Structure 1
Amino acid sequence: MTEVTAYLYNKCGTCRKAKKWMDENGITYREIPIVDEPPTKEQLRTYWQQSGLDLRKFFNTSGQSYRERGLKDRLKDMSEEEMLDLLASDGKLIKRPLIIGNGKVTVGFKEDEMEQAWK
């Protein structure tokens, strides 16, 4: 198993759960603070394409930045380029944890998805 990269936020309970799960399952990971060092637009584009997910799934819909900007109503009218620009501009807008490795990407923490992707 190669090392994975995990974009995490230390005040995020979901991120703490994901770290605990990776530690318990022997997953080696490089931690990057998502708020201080968010992925670039091009990195996000690659992760999104590798994930096979709708780009909207990359947004942290329960976050304060998302609500303050009224994105719930604005996203449906945005182009993918605009969404990528927005995500790259604010690490708090990105759903976390964002875990990347071996051509796989998981967004958020669901134990069954983690099992499939990283074990």
Structure 2
Amino acid sequence: MLKIYGLNQCSTTQKVKSYLEDKGLEFGEIIDIRDNPPQVAELSLALKQVEGQYTKILNTSGSLYREMGLKEKLKEMDQTTFLKILSENGMLVKRPLIVAEDRASAGSKEQFLDAVWLTK
């Protein structure tokens, strides 16, 4: 069973969950990403899927991203610091974040979801 981090009231999280359930994947309850941010190891799996491109797992449209001035800070930030910040601030993570033992994905693009979850 897969973990899904997101927000219960988020239509994108609900859409992705339904999309993947229709493809035969099983999830538990949606884990509130604000109250229970993902762990560094889980975020690391998602980052690995996008070949280390920070902005692919980062919620760049959220207010916290702007408030923290991350656009500029990312240029000099090492991976350990980046993952620690995301693990402490779930609203910085692109939603939904879906996690298994060996892989993870962030976001809602169906082509990417298919590549991560349906082709292995």
**TM-score, structure 1 as length reference:** 0.82
What whole-Å deviation, never above 9, does each CA across 1:19-74 have from its counterpart, x for those lacking one? 22123223211232111111123432344335534233221001111111111111
Q: Aligned partners of 1:110 and 1:57: how far apart in 2?
A: 11
Cα gap change, 1:64 to 1:49, in 2 (>3 Å): same
Match of 1:22 among 9, 20, 23: 20
Structure 2 contact 42–104 (Cα < 8 Å) conserved: no
CA positional deviation for 1:89: 1.2
Structure 1 range deviating more: 86-95 or 48-57: 48-57
Q: Does 1:101 align with 2:100?
A: yes
For 1:8 and 1:51, locate their aligned partners in 2 and report how far apart those are by CA, in whole Å.
19
**Are the counterparts in 2 of residues 60 and 96 from structure 1 also a CA contact under 8 Å?**
yes
Local SS of the residue matching 1:38: coil
Name segments (4+ residues, structure 1) moved above 4 Å.
none
| Corresponding position of 2:74 | 75
Alignment equivalent of 1:12, drawn from 10, 13, 37: 10
Match of 1:92 in 2: 91
Partner of 2:61: 62
Helix, strand or coil for the counterpart of 2:4? strand
CA distance in 1, matches of 2:82, 2:108: 22
Q: What secondary structure is seen at the aligned counterpart in 2 of 1:44?
A: helix
Q: Which amino acid aligns with 2:31?
A: I
Task: Please report how far the alpha carbon of residue 101 of structure 1 lies from its aligned counterpart in structure 2 after TM superposition.
Answer: 1.9
Could you tell me which runs of 5 or more consecutive residues in structure 1 were left unpaired when the two chains were aligned. none
Consecutive unaligned residues of structure 2, counting only runs of 5 or more, are: none
Which SS does the other structure have where 2:34 is aligned?
coil
TM-score, structure 2 length as denominator?
0.82
* Cα 1:110/1:70, change in 2 over 3 Å: same
